[in-house]
Amino acid sequence: MTNAPVTTQGFTVAIDGPAASGKGTISRAVAEHFGFAHLDTGVLYRAVGAKVILGQDAESAAKTLVPEDLTNPDLRTPDVAQAASMAAAVPEVRAALVDFQRSFAARAGGAVLDGRDIGTVICPSAQVKLFVTATADVRARRRFQELSGNGLETSFEEVLADVQARDARDMGRADAPLKPAHDAIEVDTSDMAIEDAVAAAISLIKAAM
Ligand SMILES: Nc1ncnc2c1ncn2[C@@H]1O[C@H](COP(=O)(O)OP(=O)(O)O)[C@@H](O)[C@H]1O
Ligand SMILES: Nc1ccn([C@@H]2O[C@H](COP(=O)(O)OP(=O)(O)O)[C@@H](O)[C@H]2O)c(=O)n1
């Protein structure tokens, strides 16, 4: 089930969407199913955001990222998410992260990358592009449960405000805004269980192989 056929050499799946839409969950499951490598590109921006919170300027943080920065256990907090989204609007930050993402996408054996601009900017010739959505209410509910489950004290209202503020900033920025590529397939997970969303993604990818 996880064997990558030879035909997946250089095969890229781009999965974009707004905060907590389920793109990471789908990407991990798809990568496991097909034996592809997976890159959560949000982690790159979160690592930059975490350094900005510690006082570094965003551009130099992006230019000096090292692998250990990506395993910082605090990257999933709402404060880091907001700082990531602010840093992500800086064109020099985005430019500093392009080569790493494109090299990852070109890996032998296939790759799935999830983020905001994978289908539009990073991998415009990806063989499959999915745009994963859900209503803001559903997404905030899911993220609230996730954060509460991890012991973070927050409220649904705070999480909803965070998600909406990031969505607005991510969609409104001039450089690589969050939007579906013209050839992306939309997967609305609002009323889908995780298993159904994953199954839908797998069948869309199979159809493109
Ligand atoms: N279809 C779904 N139904 C219910 N919960 C989901 C679904 N997809 C994802 N989740 C949950 O919602 C939260 C956010 O999902 P995640 O994949 O991290 O989103 P994203 O990567 O888009 O931010 C996680 O706790 C995840 O388990
Ligand atoms: N390819 C990407 C990935 C993330 N980002 C930024 O990084 C922030 C955090 O991304 P994430 O994917 O970890 O966030 P969630 O969707 O998991 O909440 C986003 O709000 C975006 O501002 C981006 O601009 N481009």
Does the residue 5 lie in any domain?
A: no
How many Cα atoms sit within 13 Å of 50 on the Cβ side?
17
Q: How far is the CA of 6 from the centre of ligand 2 (A)?
A: 31
Total domain count for the chain? 1
Q: Which domain holds residue 127?
A: 12-208
Alpha-carbon distance 121 to 99, whole Å? Answer: 12
pTM: 0.96
The token pair that represents 36 in the structure block: 């592809």
Share of the chain above pLDDT 90, in %: 95
pLDDT for 1 equals 37
Q: How far is the CA of 193 from the centre of ligand 2 (A)?
A: 22
From 7-21, 31-45, 81-95, the region with the lowest mean pLDDT? 7-21
The token pair that represents 21 in the structure block: 């839409």
- CATH number for the domain including 30? 3.40.50.300
Buried b (16+ CB within 10 A) or exposed e, 4-13: eeeebeebbb
Looking at the CA of 197, which ligand is closest? 1
How many Cα atoms sit within 13 Å of 117 on the Cβ side?
22
Does the residue 3 lie in any domain?
A: no
Does the residue 49 lie in any domain?
A: yes
- Per the listing, tokens 């991998």 go with 123
Residue 8: pLDDT band with limits 50, 70, 90: low
